[in-house]
Structure 1
Amino acid sequence: MVAVSPWLVLAGLGIFHGLNPAMGWLFAVALGLHRKSRRAVVLSVIPIAIGHMVSIGVVALAAVLLGLIVDQRVLEVTAGTVLLGWAIHYAAYGHRHRVRVGMTTGMMGLGLWSFLMATAHGAGLMLVPVVIPLCLSASPAKDLTAAGSLPIALAAISMHMAAMLAVILAIAISVYEWLGLSFLRRGWINFDLVWIAALAITGIVLIV
Protein backbone atom coordinates (compact mmCIF):
# COMPACT_ATOMS: atom_id res chain seq x y z
CA MET A 1 0.00 0.00 0.00
CA VAL A 2 2.87 2.35 0.83
CA ALA A 3 4.39 1.77 -2.61
CA VAL A 4 1.10 2.28 -4.43
CA SER A 5 -0.21 5.35 -2.63
CA PRO A 6 2.07 7.96 -4.30
CA TRP A 7 0.94 6.74 -7.70
CA LEU A 8 -2.67 7.02 -6.59
CA VAL A 9 -1.97 10.58 -5.46
CA LEU A 10 -0.50 11.39 -8.88
CA ALA A 11 -3.55 9.89 -10.56
CA GLY A 12 -5.84 11.79 -8.18
CA LEU A 13 -4.14 15.08 -9.02
CA GLY A 14 -4.51 14.22 -12.69
CA ILE A 15 -8.23 13.55 -12.22
CA PHE A 16 -8.63 16.82 -10.34
CA HIS A 17 -6.88 18.76 -13.12
CA GLY A 18 -9.03 17.00 -15.69
CA LEU A 19 -12.25 17.96 -13.90
CA ASN A 20 -11.26 21.63 -13.78
CA PRO A 21 -12.73 23.43 -16.84
CA ALA A 22 -9.78 25.85 -16.76
CA MET A 23 -7.36 23.01 -17.51
CA GLY A 24 -8.73 22.18 -20.94
CA TRP A 25 -12.03 20.43 -21.48
CA LEU A 26 -14.03 23.65 -21.76
CA PHE A 27 -11.77 24.89 -24.55
CA ALA A 28 -11.95 21.50 -26.27
CA VAL A 29 -15.75 21.65 -26.28
CA ALA A 30 -15.77 25.28 -27.47
CA LEU A 31 -13.42 24.44 -30.33
CA GLY A 32 -15.54 21.45 -31.31
CA LEU A 33 -18.75 23.49 -31.26
CA HIS A 34 -17.11 26.27 -33.27
CA ARG A 35 -15.92 23.83 -35.94
CA LYS A 36 -19.00 21.59 -35.60
CA SER A 37 -16.70 18.61 -35.32
CA ARG A 38 -16.31 15.87 -32.73
CA ARG A 39 -12.88 15.21 -34.26
CA ALA A 40 -11.81 18.72 -33.27
CA VAL A 41 -12.78 17.94 -29.67
CA VAL A 42 -10.62 14.81 -29.65
CA LEU A 43 -7.66 16.40 -31.46
CA SER A 44 -7.66 19.40 -29.12
CA VAL A 45 -6.55 17.07 -26.32
CA ILE A 46 -3.12 16.78 -28.01
CA PRO A 47 -2.02 20.43 -27.61
CA ILE A 48 -3.64 20.55 -24.15
CA ALA A 49 -1.53 17.53 -23.16
CA ILE A 50 1.68 18.95 -24.63
CA GLY A 51 1.27 22.34 -22.95
CA HIS A 52 0.43 20.84 -19.56
CA MET A 53 3.16 18.22 -19.74
CA VAL A 54 5.87 20.76 -20.60
CA SER A 55 4.79 22.99 -17.70
CA ILE A 56 4.74 20.29 -15.02
CA GLY A 57 7.73 18.49 -16.53
CA VAL A 58 9.99 21.53 -16.27
CA VAL A 59 9.09 22.06 -12.60
CA ALA A 60 9.18 18.41 -11.53
CA LEU A 61 12.44 17.60 -13.30
CA ALA A 62 14.04 20.80 -12.00
CA ALA A 63 13.09 19.76 -8.46
CA VAL A 64 14.61 16.32 -8.95
CA LEU A 65 17.84 17.74 -10.35
CA LEU A 66 17.99 20.24 -7.50
CA GLY A 67 17.50 17.38 -5.09
CA LEU A 68 20.73 15.82 -6.34
CA ILE A 69 22.75 18.64 -4.78
CA VAL A 70 20.49 19.93 -1.98
CA ASP A 71 19.59 18.17 1.27
CA GLN A 72 16.10 16.61 1.17
CA ARG A 73 14.86 18.54 4.20
CA VAL A 74 16.00 21.83 2.72
CA LEU A 75 14.25 20.93 -0.52
CA GLU A 76 11.03 20.05 1.33
CA VAL A 77 10.99 23.33 3.28
CA THR A 78 11.78 25.30 0.13
CA ALA A 79 9.06 23.56 -1.85
CA GLY A 80 6.58 24.04 1.02
CA THR A 81 7.39 27.73 1.26
CA VAL A 82 6.97 28.18 -2.49
CA LEU A 83 3.64 26.30 -2.43
CA LEU A 84 2.33 28.35 0.48
CA GLY A 85 3.48 31.60 -1.12
CA TRP A 86 1.93 30.58 -4.43
CA ALA A 87 -1.39 29.82 -2.72
CA ILE A 88 -1.41 33.26 -1.08
CA HIS A 89 -0.46 34.99 -4.33
CA TYR A 90 -3.06 33.09 -6.34
CA ALA A 91 -5.78 33.80 -3.78
CA ALA A 92 -4.98 37.52 -3.85
CA TYR A 93 -4.15 38.13 -7.50
CA GLY A 94 -4.94 34.99 -9.53
CA HIS A 95 -8.30 36.29 -10.72
CA ARG A 96 -6.66 39.46 -12.08
CA HIS A 97 -4.25 37.65 -14.38
CA ARG A 98 -6.36 35.36 -16.48
CA VAL A 99 -4.74 34.08 -19.67
CA ARG A 100 -6.29 35.86 -22.65
CA VAL A 101 -6.92 33.27 -25.35
CA GLY A 102 -10.09 33.17 -27.42
CA MET A 103 -12.42 30.20 -27.03
CA THR A 104 -12.06 29.46 -30.76
CA THR A 105 -8.26 29.56 -30.87
CA GLY A 106 -6.33 27.12 -33.04
CA MET A 107 -4.27 24.15 -31.89
CA MET A 108 -1.06 26.17 -31.43
CA GLY A 109 -2.85 28.76 -29.33
CA LEU A 110 -4.49 26.00 -27.29
CA GLY A 111 -1.11 24.43 -26.51
CA LEU A 112 0.33 27.77 -25.42
CA TRP A 113 -2.75 28.49 -23.32
CA SER A 114 -2.49 25.06 -21.66
CA PHE A 115 1.17 25.67 -20.78
CA LEU A 116 0.46 29.11 -19.33
CA MET A 117 -2.61 27.95 -17.40
CA ALA A 118 -0.82 24.98 -15.83
CA THR A 119 2.09 27.23 -14.90
CA ALA A 120 -0.18 29.91 -13.45
CA HIS A 121 -1.98 27.31 -11.31
CA GLY A 122 1.31 25.91 -9.97
CA ALA A 123 0.39 22.47 -11.29
CA GLY A 124 4.00 21.30 -11.42
CA LEU A 125 4.66 22.44 -7.86
CA MET A 126 1.97 20.09 -6.58
CA LEU A 127 3.78 17.09 -8.04
CA VAL A 128 7.07 17.83 -6.29
CA PRO A 129 6.02 16.48 -2.82
CA VAL A 130 5.02 13.20 -4.49
CA VAL A 131 7.81 12.84 -7.05
CA ILE A 132 10.72 13.34 -4.62
CA PRO A 133 9.67 10.51 -2.20
CA LEU A 134 9.08 8.24 -5.19
CA CYS A 135 12.58 8.92 -6.47
CA LEU A 136 14.04 8.30 -3.01
CA SER A 137 12.17 5.02 -2.59
CA ALA A 138 13.60 3.81 -5.91
CA SER A 139 17.14 4.03 -4.51
CA PRO A 140 18.40 1.33 -2.09
CA ALA A 141 20.54 3.99 -0.39
CA LYS A 142 17.57 6.36 -0.15
CA ASP A 143 19.56 9.00 -2.02
CA LEU A 144 18.61 10.87 -5.16
CA THR A 145 20.65 9.80 -8.17
CA ALA A 146 20.31 10.96 -11.75
CA ALA A 147 20.15 7.41 -13.12
CA GLY A 148 17.39 6.34 -10.77
CA SER A 149 15.47 9.59 -10.32
CA LEU A 150 14.82 10.78 -13.86
CA PRO A 151 13.03 7.60 -15.07
CA ILE A 152 10.83 7.63 -11.96
CA ALA A 153 10.06 11.35 -12.45
CA LEU A 154 9.11 10.72 -16.08
CA ALA A 155 6.90 7.80 -15.06
CA ALA A 156 5.23 9.99 -12.43
CA ILE A 157 4.51 12.70 -14.99
CA SER A 158 3.13 10.06 -17.38
CA MET A 159 0.80 8.68 -14.70
CA HIS A 160 -0.46 12.17 -13.90
CA MET A 161 -0.99 13.01 -17.57
CA ALA A 162 -2.78 9.74 -18.38
CA ALA A 163 -5.34 10.29 -15.61
CA MET A 164 -5.84 13.95 -16.54
CA LEU A 165 -6.28 13.32 -20.26
CA ALA A 166 -8.69 10.43 -19.72
CA VAL A 167 -10.94 12.71 -17.64
CA ILE A 168 -10.64 15.66 -20.04
CA LEU A 169 -11.54 13.49 -23.02
CA ALA A 170 -14.48 11.84 -21.24
CA ILE A 171 -15.94 15.15 -20.06
CA ALA A 172 -15.32 17.00 -23.32
CA ILE A 173 -17.03 14.33 -25.43
CA SER A 174 -19.92 13.98 -22.96
CA VAL A 175 -20.54 17.73 -22.90
CA TYR A 176 -20.19 18.05 -26.68
CA GLU A 177 -22.43 15.08 -27.52
CA TRP A 178 -25.05 15.08 -24.78
CA LEU A 179 -24.87 17.59 -21.93
CA GLY A 180 -24.12 20.87 -23.68
CA LEU A 181 -22.61 23.89 -21.93
CA SER A 182 -25.95 24.96 -20.45
CA PHE A 183 -25.37 22.77 -17.36
CA LEU A 184 -22.63 25.19 -16.26
CA ARG A 185 -25.31 27.83 -15.66
CA ARG A 186 -26.86 25.63 -12.97
CA GLY A 187 -23.68 25.72 -10.92
CA TRP A 188 -20.19 24.34 -10.87
CA ILE A 189 -17.60 23.67 -8.20
CA ASN A 190 -15.19 26.53 -7.61
CA PHE A 191 -12.00 24.61 -8.40
CA ASP A 192 -9.87 27.70 -7.80
CA LEU A 193 -10.76 27.66 -4.08
CA VAL A 194 -10.14 23.92 -3.83
CA TRP A 195 -6.78 24.32 -5.57
CA ILE A 196 -5.71 27.21 -3.33
CA ALA A 197 -6.56 25.12 -0.25
CA ALA A 198 -4.63 22.14 -1.63
CA LEU A 199 -1.56 24.28 -2.34
CA ALA A 200 -1.65 25.83 1.13
CA ILE A 201 -2.19 22.55 3.01
CA THR A 202 0.56 20.75 1.08
CA GLY A 203 2.93 23.66 1.69
CA ILE A 204 2.26 23.66 5.44
CA VAL A 205 2.69 19.86 5.69
CA LEU A 206 6.05 20.05 3.91
CA ILE A 207 7.30 22.86 6.14
CA VAL A 208 6.17 21.22 9.38
Structure 2
Amino acid sequence: MSDSSPWLILIALGAFHGLNPAMGWFFAASLGLFRKSRSVILLSLIPIALGHAAAIAVVVFAAIGLGFTIDADTFRILSGALLIAWGLYHWFFGHQHHLRITAATGLTGIGVWSFLMAMAHGAGMMLIPVLMPMGHVHTHMGGHGGHMVSTDSFGVAALGVIVHTLAMLIVTGCIAILVYQSAGLEILKRRWINLDLAWTLALIGMGLWLLFA
Protein backbone atom coordinates (compact mmCIF):
# COMPACT_ATOMS: atom_id res chain seq x y z
CA MET A 1 0.00 0.00 0.00
CA SER A 2 1.08 3.62 -0.53
CA ASP A 3 1.82 5.80 2.49
CA SER A 4 -1.59 7.46 2.25
CA SER A 5 -3.62 4.28 1.75
CA PRO A 6 -4.08 3.39 5.47
CA TRP A 7 -5.29 6.92 6.19
CA LEU A 8 -7.76 6.79 3.32
CA ILE A 9 -9.04 3.44 4.59
CA LEU A 10 -9.47 4.90 8.09
CA ILE A 11 -11.48 7.76 6.61
CA ALA A 12 -13.59 5.37 4.51
CA LEU A 13 -14.33 3.17 7.54
CA GLY A 14 -15.26 6.27 9.52
CA ALA A 15 -17.63 7.36 6.78
CA PHE A 16 -19.16 3.88 6.69
CA HIS A 17 -19.73 3.98 10.44
CA GLY A 18 -21.34 7.38 10.02
CA LEU A 19 -23.81 5.91 7.53
CA ASN A 20 -25.00 3.31 10.02
CA PRO A 21 -28.11 4.56 11.89
CA ALA A 22 -27.19 2.51 14.97
CA MET A 23 -23.86 4.32 15.28
CA GLY A 24 -25.50 7.64 16.02
CA TRP A 25 -27.27 9.67 13.36
CA PHE A 26 -30.64 8.06 14.00
CA PHE A 27 -30.55 9.13 17.65
CA ALA A 28 -29.16 12.58 16.90
CA ALA A 29 -31.99 13.18 14.42
CA SER A 30 -34.56 11.67 16.79
CA LEU A 31 -33.44 13.87 19.65
CA GLY A 32 -33.54 16.94 17.42
CA LEU A 33 -37.05 16.10 16.21
CA PHE A 34 -38.22 15.32 19.74
CA ARG A 35 -36.94 18.65 21.08
CA LYS A 36 -37.64 20.55 17.84
CA SER A 37 -34.14 21.95 17.71
CA ARG A 38 -31.37 21.61 15.13
CA SER A 39 -28.84 22.83 17.68
CA VAL A 40 -29.62 19.77 19.80
CA ILE A 41 -28.51 17.59 16.88
CA LEU A 42 -25.18 19.40 16.69
CA LEU A 43 -24.75 19.14 20.45
CA SER A 44 -25.50 15.41 20.41
CA LEU A 45 -22.60 14.85 18.01
CA ILE A 46 -20.17 15.47 20.89
CA PRO A 47 -21.14 12.42 23.01
CA ILE A 48 -21.55 10.34 19.85
CA ALA A 49 -17.97 11.11 18.82
CA LEU A 50 -16.57 10.64 22.33
CA GLY A 51 -18.31 7.30 22.80
CA HIS A 52 -17.19 6.02 19.41
CA ALA A 53 -13.59 7.15 19.89
CA ALA A 54 -13.40 5.67 23.40
CA ALA A 55 -14.64 2.27 22.23
CA ILE A 56 -12.12 2.17 19.40
CA ALA A 57 -9.24 3.41 21.55
CA VAL A 58 -9.82 0.71 24.19
CA VAL A 59 -9.47 -2.06 21.60
CA VAL A 60 -6.67 -0.49 19.56
CA PHE A 61 -4.45 0.41 22.53
CA ALA A 62 -4.99 -3.03 24.08
CA ALA A 63 -3.93 -4.60 20.77
CA ILE A 64 -0.82 -2.43 20.62
CA GLY A 65 0.09 -3.43 24.16
CA LEU A 66 -0.26 -7.06 23.13
CA GLY A 67 1.88 -6.38 20.10
CA PHE A 68 4.87 -5.60 22.31
CA THR A 69 4.84 -9.17 23.59
CA ILE A 70 4.23 -11.32 20.50
CA ASP A 71 5.66 -11.45 16.97
CA ALA A 72 3.94 -9.90 13.97
CA ASP A 73 2.83 -13.17 12.32
CA THR A 74 1.19 -14.46 15.50
CA PHE A 75 -0.56 -11.14 16.02
CA ARG A 76 -1.81 -11.14 12.41
CA ILE A 77 -3.24 -14.66 12.76
CA LEU A 78 -4.88 -13.87 16.11
CA SER A 79 -6.39 -10.66 14.72
CA GLY A 80 -7.74 -12.46 11.65
CA ALA A 81 -9.29 -15.26 13.70
CA LEU A 82 -10.85 -12.76 16.11
CA LEU A 83 -12.35 -10.70 13.28
CA ILE A 84 -13.88 -13.79 11.68
CA ALA A 85 -15.22 -15.06 15.01
CA TRP A 86 -16.75 -11.69 15.84
CA GLY A 87 -18.25 -11.35 12.37
CA LEU A 88 -19.88 -14.78 12.61
CA TYR A 89 -21.18 -14.06 16.10
CA HIS A 90 -22.61 -10.74 14.95
CA TRP A 91 -24.20 -12.45 11.94
CA PHE A 92 -25.97 -15.17 13.91
CA PHE A 93 -26.59 -13.57 17.29
CA GLY A 94 -26.09 -9.79 17.03
CA HIS A 95 -29.77 -9.09 16.39
CA GLN A 96 -30.66 -10.68 19.74
CA HIS A 97 -28.76 -8.10 21.77
CA HIS A 98 -30.06 -4.78 20.55
CA LEU A 99 -30.51 -2.32 23.39
CA ARG A 100 -33.43 0.06 23.35
CA ILE A 101 -33.11 3.82 23.47
CA THR A 102 -35.84 6.38 22.95
CA ALA A 103 -35.95 9.84 21.42
CA ALA A 104 -36.22 11.26 24.92
CA THR A 105 -32.83 9.89 25.92
CA GLY A 106 -30.38 12.59 26.97
CA LEU A 107 -26.89 13.31 25.71
CA THR A 108 -25.26 11.01 28.25
CA GLY A 109 -27.42 8.10 27.13
CA ILE A 110 -26.49 8.74 23.50
CA GLY A 111 -22.80 8.74 24.42
CA VAL A 112 -23.15 5.42 26.22
CA TRP A 113 -25.08 4.01 23.27
CA SER A 114 -22.36 5.16 20.86
CA PHE A 115 -19.70 3.42 22.97
CA LEU A 116 -21.67 0.18 23.22
CA MET A 117 -22.55 0.08 19.53
CA ALA A 118 -18.95 0.62 18.46
CA MET A 119 -17.86 -2.18 20.79
CA ALA A 120 -20.66 -4.49 19.66
CA HIS A 121 -19.90 -3.95 15.98
CA GLY A 122 -16.19 -4.65 16.44
CA ALA A 123 -15.29 -1.20 15.13
CA GLY A 124 -11.97 -1.13 16.99
CA MET A 125 -10.96 -4.57 15.77
CA MET A 126 -11.57 -3.51 12.19
CA LEU A 127 -9.05 -0.69 12.57
CA ILE A 128 -6.24 -2.91 13.85
CA PRO A 129 -5.27 -4.37 10.43
CA VAL A 130 -5.23 -0.84 9.00
CA LEU A 131 -3.07 0.56 11.80
CA MET A 132 -0.61 -2.34 11.77
CA PRO A 133 1.49 -1.03 8.83
CA MET A 134 1.38 2.52 10.21
CA GLY A 135 3.23 1.85 13.46
CA HIS A 136 6.78 2.10 12.09
CA VAL A 137 7.24 -1.62 12.58
CA HIS A 138 10.73 -2.76 13.47
CA THR A 139 11.27 -6.44 12.71
CA HIS A 140 14.17 -8.10 14.44
CA MET A 141 15.08 -11.33 12.69
CA GLY A 142 16.30 -14.03 14.96
CA GLY A 143 15.20 -16.69 17.36
CA HIS A 144 12.42 -14.58 18.83
CA GLY A 145 10.81 -13.37 15.61
CA GLY A 146 9.75 -9.79 15.04
CA HIS A 147 7.54 -7.61 17.16
CA MET A 148 4.83 -5.72 15.38
CA VAL A 149 5.07 -2.33 17.13
CA SER A 150 7.56 0.27 18.21
CA THR A 151 7.34 2.85 20.96
CA ASP A 152 5.71 5.47 18.71
CA SER A 153 2.82 3.17 17.77
CA PHE A 154 0.57 4.64 20.46
CA GLY A 155 0.90 8.11 18.95
CA VAL A 156 0.17 6.85 15.44
CA ALA A 157 -2.82 4.88 16.74
CA ALA A 158 -4.19 7.90 18.61
CA LEU A 159 -3.96 10.00 15.44
CA GLY A 160 -5.64 7.20 13.49
CA VAL A 161 -8.52 7.07 15.98
CA ILE A 162 -8.96 10.85 15.69
CA VAL A 163 -8.97 10.81 11.87
CA HIS A 164 -11.42 7.90 11.80
CA THR A 165 -13.74 9.53 14.35
CA LEU A 166 -13.73 12.88 12.52
CA ALA A 167 -14.79 11.16 9.29
CA MET A 168 -17.53 9.31 11.13
CA LEU A 169 -18.65 12.53 12.84
CA ILE A 170 -18.91 14.52 9.60
CA VAL A 171 -21.05 11.88 7.90
CA THR A 172 -23.18 11.37 11.02
CA GLY A 173 -23.82 15.10 11.35
CA CYS A 174 -24.67 15.59 7.67
CA ILE A 175 -27.16 12.72 7.61
CA ALA A 176 -28.77 13.73 10.92
CA ILE A 177 -29.30 17.30 9.70
CA LEU A 178 -30.61 16.10 6.34
CA VAL A 179 -33.09 13.77 8.01
CA TYR A 180 -34.17 16.49 10.42
CA GLN A 181 -34.64 19.06 7.65
CA SER A 182 -36.44 16.97 5.08
CA ALA A 183 -36.71 13.20 5.00
CA GLY A 184 -37.70 12.44 8.58
CA LEU A 185 -37.15 9.06 10.23
CA GLU A 186 -39.43 7.38 7.67
CA ILE A 187 -36.30 7.07 5.50
CA LEU A 188 -35.40 3.98 7.54
CA LYS A 189 -38.56 2.23 6.34
CA ARG A 190 -38.22 3.18 2.68
CA ARG A 191 -34.65 3.53 1.49
CA TRP A 192 -31.99 2.42 3.96
CA ILE A 193 -29.85 -0.57 3.05
CA ASN A 194 -28.78 -3.34 5.41
CA LEU A 195 -25.51 -1.84 6.66
CA ASP A 196 -25.26 -4.37 9.49
CA LEU A 197 -24.93 -7.18 6.95
CA ALA A 198 -22.37 -5.23 4.94
CA TRP A 199 -20.32 -4.60 8.07
CA THR A 200 -20.50 -8.26 9.12
CA LEU A 201 -19.22 -9.36 5.71
CA ALA A 202 -16.46 -6.75 5.92
CA LEU A 203 -15.33 -8.12 9.30
CA ILE A 204 -15.19 -11.67 7.97
CA GLY A 205 -13.50 -10.59 4.75
CA MET A 206 -10.79 -8.62 6.56
CA GLY A 207 -10.21 -11.57 8.88
CA LEU A 208 -9.76 -13.94 5.96
CA TRP A 209 -7.38 -11.50 4.31
CA LEU A 210 -5.24 -11.37 7.46
CA LEU A 211 -5.15 -15.15 7.75
CA PHE A 212 -4.15 -15.81 4.14
CA ALA A 213 -2.20 -12.67 3.19
TM-score normalised by structure 1 residue count: 0.95
Matched residue type, 1:69: T
Instruction: Report the structure, 1 or 2, having the larger helix content.
Output: 1
Residue 84 (1) aligns with residue 84 (2) = yes
Name the structure 2 match of 1:169.
173
Equivalent in the alignment of 2:159:
155
Aligned to 1:136, what secondary structure does the other structure show?
coil
Q: Report if the CA contact (8 A) 2:131-2:160 is conserved.
A: yes
Give ranges in structure 2 of 5+ residues lacking alignment. Answer: 141-146
**What secondary structure is seen at the aligned counterpart in 2 of 1:181?**
coil
1:191 aligned partner: 195
Deviation for aligned residue 1:182: 2.3
1:42-61 map, 5 Å:
42-61=42-61
User: Whole-Å Cα distance in 2 between the matches of residues 34 and 100 of structure 1?
Assistant: 16
Question: Can you list the C-alpha shifts for 1:58-113, whole angstroms capped at 9, x where unaligned?
Answer: 00111111111110111110011010000111111000000222232001111111
Among the aligned pairs, what percent are the same residue? 47
Q: CA deviation at 1:121?
A: 0.5
- Using the alignment, how far apart are the partners of 2:64 and 2:163 within structure 1? 17
- d(CA) in 1 for partners of 2:101, 2:178: 23
Match of 1:204 in 2: 208
Of residues 149, 172, 195, the one that matches 1:144 is 149
Evaluate the alpha carbon distance shift between residue 175 and residue 206 of structure 1 in structure 2; reply closer, same or farther with a 3 A threshold.
same
Long gaps (5+) in structure 1: none
Please list the CA deviations of residues 43-64 of structure 1 after superposition, one character each: whole Å capped at 9, or x if unmatched: 0001111111110000011111
CA contact (8 A) 1:47 1:107 kept: yes
Q: Is the 8 A contact 1:55 1:119 kept in 2?
A: yes
Cα distance in structure 1, aligned partners of 2:185 and 2:109 = 22
TM-score (normalised: structure 2): 0.92
Matches within 5 A, 1:17-36: 17-36=17-36
* Structure 1 position 179, deviation (Å): 2.1
Aligned CA RMSD, in angstroms, stands at 1.5
Distance 2:148 2:77 in 1: 18
Contact 1:99 1:117 in 2 (8 A): no
Name the amino acid aligned to 1:163: A
Query: Is the Cα–Cα contact under 8 Å of residues 71 and 148 in structure 2 kept in the other structure?
Result: no
